[in-house]
Structure 1
Amino acid sequence: MPKKRLNVLIIEDHPIIIEGYKNALLSDESSNEYDYFFRQASNCDDALKTLKLKSAANTNLVLLDIKLPPSQKNHHVTSGEDLAIHIRRNFPDTKIIILTMLSEQERIINISKSIEPDGFIIKSDLTSKVLKTAFHKVFNDPPFYSESVLKIHKMNNNASVLIDQIDRSILYHLSKGVKTKNLVDYIPLSLSAIEKRKLNLKKVLELKEKNDKSLISKALEKGFI
């Protein structure tokens, strides 16, 4: 019986981790069933370029890190989360497994809500066995959440999305030294709307000091930048 082609895109900025993912999938018992075709990208721009290819529509699975070098060409893509949102919007049938070092509760909940990934693994939980289990689960009975993700969800079952894609873009550009009055060049909102979002971010992050420096520091601490 001929093998089924499986197109996998790995978006990760550490080459040794990419090889680890490939080896885990190729050593799985399903390697007798699938003929794997791998593509890889190490930053947001490379990923966007790959996703523009005609063949991207045939991508079956994306393994995606969250902390990636941001796009230098697209102001709205500053992380793997933005890439995942882009993939969800343009390739709804593609399975997404998030693999991240992030473990802050607020960040994990936000990623879960904004992306609804088919698989979600905190890298401290990651083994070859866990990745293989996730692979089978996302194609047969999604979602698959690793132990730490499940624990965070259990503690925050009623949590809502606190910080969305636009909020994260505001935080990112502020962290790069863009002044609030100039954020309109990067964010598709009026200055008054941006200022309202900044005030809400300071409230959500429970800042005692209301200046931008404290906002950026707390956002970095929580993994939103």
Structure 2
Amino acid sequence: MCSILLVDDHPLIVEGYILALNKDEGLLGKSKFTKAFDCLSAKEIIDEAVANGDFFDVAIVDFSVPSNETFKWNDGGDIILYLNKVMPECKTLMITGHTEVLTIYEIVKNIRPDGLASKHEISPDSLIGIVKEVLNGTRYQSEIVKHCLSEIVRKEMMYDDYNRAILVLLSKGYKLQELDEHIPLSNPTIKKRLAKMKQVFEVSDTATLVQNAIKLGFV
């Protein structure tokens, strides 16, 4: 039997998760579902489970679960952090309606759930697949999450003065072999930086890289 904790402040969403996951008996068998609808009730349920030695196999937690006026937790992130502390063997899947780059980055960096997906990408079939991956030990990230993280990497790369200088000079018509005359880097080092920027921007040629950097306001 698979024991699953579901935390969302919308009961209909919780029931939808149960209906979806019950479709795949081969994966989860006869699952046991435990529901919580806010941070305080989630903590009480987790504490009771720990006290009874009745651990969850996976927790599916909404990021925007409301806090309580008398309780210090702010959102679903605090629930997952607490689970990681008191029930580290429990896999965690965070679902969020947020698509802001910095919010996604903060969740990945500071909360570190085993899986992270946007609500916009969740369907009954995809939820089953995601839970399978998380239970099998895969650190799952949905396509929207991956896109947000790639945006952060691009911005971090463009904070580098030399990277920006390379693109600025190229945009002004300087040839690659001329750049080491204007930037205190060797030609091989400049080529390596260009190759890394192409990889991050997901382009194959220098001209498209420069165009994308200009379009996104990095140059």
Q: TM-score normalised by the shorter chain: which range applies? A: 0.5 to 0.7
Kept in 2: contact 1:109–1:159 (CA 8 A): no
1:41 aligned onto 2:36: yes
1:69 corresponds in structure 2 to 66
TM-superposed deviation, 1:73: 3.4
1:183 corresponds in structure 2 to none
TM-superposed deviation, 1:84: 1.0
Residue deviations 1:90-126, cap 9 Å, x none? 1111000001111111000100111211111100111
Identity %: 25
Q: Match of 2:63, as an amino acid? A: I
2:128 corresponds in structure 1 to 132
Give the 3-state SS of the residue equivalent to 1:27 in structure 2: coil
TM-superposed deviation, 1:144: 1.3
Which of 5, 12, 35 in structure 1 is aligned with 2:8? 12
1:142 corresponds in structure 2 to 138
Runs of 4+ that moved beyond 6 A: none
Alpha-carbon distance between aligned partners in 2 of 1:55 and 1:109, rounded to the nearest angstrom: 35
Alpha-carbon distance between aligned partners in 2 of 1:100 and 1:9, rounded to the nearest angstrom: 16
Give the 3-state SS of the residue equivalent to 1:84 in structure 2: helix
Residue deviations 1:36-69, cap 9 Å, x none? 0110000011101101102465111100001122
Q: Match of 1:39, as an amino acid? A: T
Alpha-carbon distance between aligned partners in 2 of 1:51 and 1:159, rounded to the nearest angstrom: 38
Q: Match of 1:64, as an amino acid? A: V
1:98 corresponds in structure 2 to 94
Distance 1:74 1:139, change over 3 A: same
Alignment TM-score, normalising by the size of structure 2: 0.66
Alpha-carbon distance between aligned partners in 2 of 1:6 and 1:114, rounded to the nearest angstrom: 27
Give the 3-state SS of the residue equivalent to 1:156 in structure 2: helix
TM-superposed deviation, 1:29: 4.8
Give the 3-state SS of the residue equivalent to 2:2 in structure 1: strand
Q: Match of 1:8, as an amino acid? A: I
Alpha-carbon distance between aligned partners in 2 of 1:11 and 1:130, rounded to the nearest angstrom: 18
Kept in 2: contact 1:50–1:56 (CA 8 A): no
TM-superposed deviation, 1:74: 2.8
Alpha-carbon distance between aligned partners in 2 of 1:139 and 1:81, rounded to the nearest angstrom: 19
1:50 aligned onto 2:45: yes
1:221 corresponds in structure 2 to none
1:24 corresponds in structure 2 to 20
Q: Which has the larger radius of gyration?
A: 2
Alpha-carbon distance between aligned partners in 1 of 2:70 and 2:15, rounded to the nearest angstrom: 28
Alpha-carbon distance between aligned partners in 1 of 2:151 and 2:127, rounded to the nearest angstrom: 24
Q: Match of 1:156, as an amino acid? A: I
2:112 corresponds in structure 1 to 116
Q: Match of 1:34, as an amino acid? A: G
Kept in 1: contact 2:58–2:135 (CA 8 A): no
Distance 1:125 1:43, change over 3 A: same
Q: Match of 1:147, as an amino acid? A: E
